[in-house]
Amino acid sequence: MARAADARKRSTHVTATTAASAPTGGADPYAKPGALTPAGAAPVIRLIGLEKYYGDNHVLKGCNLEVYPAETICIIGRSGSGKSTLLRCANFLEEPTVGTVEIDGIQVRADPLRARSKEHREQIREIRTRAGMVFQQFNLFPHLRVIDNLTLAPVQVKGVPREQAIRTAEHYLAQVGLSHKRDEFPARLSGGEQQRVAIARALAMEPKVLMFDEPTSALDPTLIGEVLRVMEDLAHGGATMIVVTHEMHFAREAADRVYFIEDGEFVEAGPPDDLLSAPQDPRTRRFLERISREERLARAGRVRGVRRRGGRSSVSGGEGSDGATDAVEGDADDGEG
Amino acid sequence: MRGLAAQQPGIDPSMVASTQTIVADIRRARQRSSLRFRLIFIGTWFVLVGGLSVALASTGRIHVDFLAEWAPFFLGGVPLTIFVSVVSIAFAVVFALIGALGRISTIAPIFATATLYVSLVRGTPLIVQIFFVYSALPQFGIVLPAIVAGIFALSFNYGAYMTEIFRAGIEAVPRGQIEAAHALGMSDAQTMRRIVLPQAVRIVIPAIGNEFIAMIKDSALVSFVALQELFWRARTTGSANFASFETLIFAAVVYWLLTITFSTAQEWLERRMRESDRRT
């Protein structure tokens, strides 16, 4: 908390510059060492001029991002704006069409034509062992106990001796508060517990940067809090994190900078209090207004899902994963802006 | 349920009790009707099978003394039938695993080879394949003992069918599992071995059970390469003594009992698996 306030004082808001005006292949104009970053540290992760086409569909249009050690970055935007694609391109779950990813000094240039070459894949594996990923759907391995979910990759990929991997795994399980679930199978855990195990699994690889792809979007509203608390503790504890999220409260609380992405490019970025309270770009403003409207509605009662299309709005209440975030997703295709 | 209701003020305790009675009555009624259904099922089978047996016996062609004399000889073929089926299904699983990995390969010659295997084997009769291995290969100096030829032909054939089962099982493992493994830095081979195959095997186990039961019946075909299993013994004895009618019925009944036994075992195994899935 103190840290967030500190970060706010030290950062000044960068006025709206569209990514289009920033030189492609150049550095991230918004980047600056965070409040917890050791002096003189270089960025842990640099995404340089990332572009992605799906066929003729231009999904990412030259994204630059630099994250310094111990920083937490939130990326917000509608669904379909490219925010998940950006994260997936950063560890090559999707091969970017153009661009370079650098994590912990390892540089990999997008090479879609030679994506299957041995050398390229080895480089990608180097990057992946340094960047932990937490998915929306948790993706725990259902046939393995919790402890084996955590030790598998360290043993298989990094060659960590088994006993040591178990000790590390137990340490991170304790950190997410699930030591007592050590020998359970994932199906026995609640969604919130599964996601916390997934976070511990990513941590067990001791990555340089943690990437979260909408980690609470698949969760029942009552379970979101426990996951966000773990993430906030990590952020305040000096982890380097990139979080794609709809949780504005988390962004406000834990982020050093918030990036707003639309149509595959960063529109605006800045410290959360500046960007979330006084957005400069009309597109950011429109997005935030919609989000706060959804949040109000969601808080107002049992109404959890709101979809607006072309002025008409339909409201569905009640159960299911149809959370307020889904309502925002629904907005993605109504062609405004 | 009762505790909760009883704690609430203003709820008549006698009403709570009567609800409990109704719940118990419903449960008892369900149990009674399910028991009745099962009894009628067994009774119907008894009548049908009994009627069939009487009809067959009334032909006057079933010589009980003859069957009693030869039964030990026929039944002596059962171990070989089971042995051939078990060994063949085991090798078929190996063929199927290799075939399935080929069928999902992105390397063209491997994919082409696996596809040819499936197409060729599924496109030709099993009996032709068995004779080919046993009778045609010796022309090239490859002489296999009957049992080896039979098991090889059966497992090669079933492997092709099961290749498609295994491929479907592998593809049924959710995409997110592979992504999670890749994101942890695991290679394609590690992901396949540690994440995809263990989950795929669980998916295809019921299907392997079905194939095994089919295998027990198809194993009768190896009698044509002079393997003295159940069907061979029944057929040769029957035709030598002009008693094919009763010997074949005898063999059919034994096959039937075998498949019933194994499919019951399979259902039990599947139920166990479902329960452990729920538990885990």
Q: In Å, what is the CA distance from B47 to each residue of B38, B202, B260? A: 14, 39, 19
User: Within this chain, do residues A82 and A130 fall inside the same structural domain, yes or no?
Assistant: yes
Contact A152 B280 (CB under 8 A): no
SS3 A116: coil
User: Within this chain, do residues A251 and A221 fall inside the same structural domain, yes or no?
Assistant: yes
Last residue of a domain, one of A280, A306, A325: A280
User: Within this chain, do residues A311 and A272 fall inside the same structural domain, yes or no?
Assistant: no
Q: Which residues pair with A314 in a beta bridge?
A: A307
Question: Is residue A198 situated within a structural domain?
Answer: no
User: Within this chain, do residues A92 and A123 fall inside the same structural domain, yes or no?
Assistant: yes
Q: Which of A93, A140, A153 sits opposite B179 (nearest CB)?
A: A93
**A200: Cβ–Cβ under 8 A, 6 or more apart, which residues?**
A150, A169, A172, A173, A175, A176, A178
Residue A17 to residue A269: CA distance in whole angstroms = 9
User: Within this chain, do residues A266 and A301 fall inside the same structural domain, yes or no?
Assistant: no
- Give, rounded to a whole angstrom, the gap between the first and last alpha carbons of chain B: 27
Pairs across A and B, CB distance < 8 A: 63
- Residue A198's CB is within 10 A of a number of other CB atoms, namely 26
Residue B194 to residue B66: CA distance in whole angstroms = 57
Chain B positions in Cβ-Cβ contact with residue A143 (cut-off 8 Å): 198-199, 202
Q: What confidence score (pLDDT) does residue B4 get? A: 54
Question: Is residue A159 situated within a structural domain?
Answer: no
List the beta strands (DSSP E) in chain A: 45-54, 57-67, 72-76, 98-103, 106-109, 131-134, 209-213, 241-244, 257-262, 265-270, 303-309, 312-317
| Tens-place pLDDT, residues A141-152 | 999 999 999 999
Question: Is residue A57 situated within a structural domain?
Answer: yes
Helix, strand, coil percent content, chain B, rounded in steps of 5: 85, 0, 15
Q: What confidence score (pLDDT) does residue B16 get? A: 65
Chain A positions in Cβ-Cβ contact with residue B205 (cut-off 8 Å): none
Question: Is residue A58 situated within a structural domain?
Answer: yes
CATH number at residue A60: 3.40.50.300
Q: What confidence score (pLDDT) does residue A307 get? A: 43
User: Within this chain, do residues A245 and A233 fall inside the same structural domain, yes or no?
Assistant: yes
User: Within this chain, do residues A241 and A318 fall inside the same structural domain, yes or no?
Assistant: no
Q: Which residue has the tokens 């996951």?
A: A227
Residue A134 to residue A132: CA distance in whole angstroms = 7
**A211: Cβ–Cβ under 8 A, 6 or more apart, which residues?**
A87, A90, A91, A131, A132, A133, A134, A241, A242, A243
Question: Is residue A263 situated within a structural domain?
Answer: yes
**A290: Cβ–Cβ under 8 A, 6 or more apart, which residues?**
A328, A331
Q: Is residue A184 a contact partner of residue A236, using CB atoms and an 8 Å limit?
A: no
Q: Which residue has the tokens 């296999």?
A: B144
Q: In Å, what is the CA distance from A80 to each residue of A250, A259, A265, B183? A: 21, 15, 12, 22
- Residue B144's CB is within 10 A of a number of other CB atoms, namely 16
Q: What confidence score (pLDDT) does residue B13 get? A: 64
Angle value at C-alpha B246, between B243 and B247, nearest 5 degrees: 80
Reading the block at residue A145, the tokens are 């106990």
Q: What confidence score (pLDDT) does residue A334 get? A: 39
Q: Which of residues 178-217 of B touch A (CB under 8 A)?
A: 179-187, 190, 194-195, 198-199, 202
User: Within this chain, do residues A31 and A62 fall inside the same structural domain, yes or no?
Assistant: yes
Residue B47 to residue B49: CA distance in whole angstroms = 6
Chain A positions in Cβ-Cβ contact with residue B186 (cut-off 8 Å): 152-153, 156-157
Identify residue B191 by its one-letter amino acid code.
T
Residue B140 to residue B142: CA distance in whole angstroms = 6
- Residue A282's CB is within 10 A of a number of other CB atoms, namely 11
Number of domains in chain A: 2
Reading the block at residue B156, the tokens are 């090669």
User: Within this chain, do residues A212 and A90 fall inside the same structural domain, yes or no?
Assistant: yes
Which residue in A248, A199, A194 sits closest to A223, CA to CA? A194
Reading the block at residue A230, the tokens are 């773990």
Q: Which domain holds residue A299?
A: 282-337
Question: Is residue A155 situated within a structural domain?
Answer: no
Q: In Å, what is the CA distance from B237 to each residue of A107, A237, B63, B242? A: 77, 83, 14, 8
CA B150 to chain centre: 19
Q: Is residue B163 a contact partner of residue B117, using CB atoms and an 8 Å limit?
A: yes
| pLDDT in single tens digits along all 280 residues of chain B | 455 555 566 666 666 668 888 999 999 999 999 999 999 999 999 999 999 999 988 888 888 888 888 888 989 889 999 999 999 999 999 999 999 999 999 999 999 999 999 999 999 999 999 999 998 888 888 888 989 999 999 999 999 999 999 999 999 999 999 999 999 999 999 999 999 999 999 899 889 999 999 999 999 998 888 788 888 898 888 888 888 888 899 999 999 999 999 999 988 888 887 776 655 4
Question: Is residue A126 situated within a structural domain?
Answer: yes
Q: What confidence score (pLDDT) does residue A251 get? A: 93
Question: Is residue A210 situated within a structural domain?
Answer: yes
Q: Per mean pLDDT, which range of A13-27, A61-75, A88-102, A107-121 is the poorest?
A: A13-27
Q: Which residue has the tokens 């060729």?
A: B120
User: Within this chain, do residues A272 and A294 fall inside the same structural domain, yes or no?
Assistant: no
Q: DSSP letter string over B131-182?
A: HIIIIIGGGGT----HHHHHHHHHHHHHHHHHHHHHHHHHHTS-HHHHHHHH
User: Within this chain, do residues A97 and A57 fall inside the same structural domain, yes or no?
Assistant: yes
With 50 as the cut, is the pLDDT of residue A272 above it?
yes
Whether chain A has a CB inside 8 Å of the CB on B34: the answer is no
| Tens-place pLDDT, residues A197-241 | 999 999 999 999 999 999 999 999 899 999 999 999 999 999 999
Bridging pattern class, strands A131-134 and A209-213: parallel
CA A137 to chain centre: 13
Whether chain B has a CB inside 8 Å of the CB on A91: the answer is yes
Identify residue B59 by its one-letter amino acid code.
T
| Tens-place pLDDT, residues A240-265 | 999 999 899 999 999 999 999 999 99
Reading the block at residue B68, the tokens are 């009693």
Contact B186 A156 (CB under 8 A): yes
| Tens-place pLDDT, residues A31-62 | 888 888 888 888 999 999 999 999 899 999 99
SS3 A312: strand
| Four-CA torsion B190, A186, A229, A102, nearest 10 degrees | 10
Distance from CA of A275 to the nearest CA of B (A): 31
Distance from CA of B199 to the nearest CA of A (A): 7
Residue B169 to residue B171: CA distance in whole angstroms = 5
Chain A positions in Cβ-Cβ contact with residue B279 (cut-off 8 Å): 188
Bridging pattern class, strands A303-309 and A72-76: unpaired
Whether chain A has a CB inside 8 Å of the CB on B141: the answer is no
User: Within this chain, do residues A325 and A218 fall inside the same structural domain, yes or no?
Assistant: no
Q: What confidence score (pLDDT) does residue B276 get? A: 66
Q: What confidence score (pLDDT) does residue A299 get? A: 76
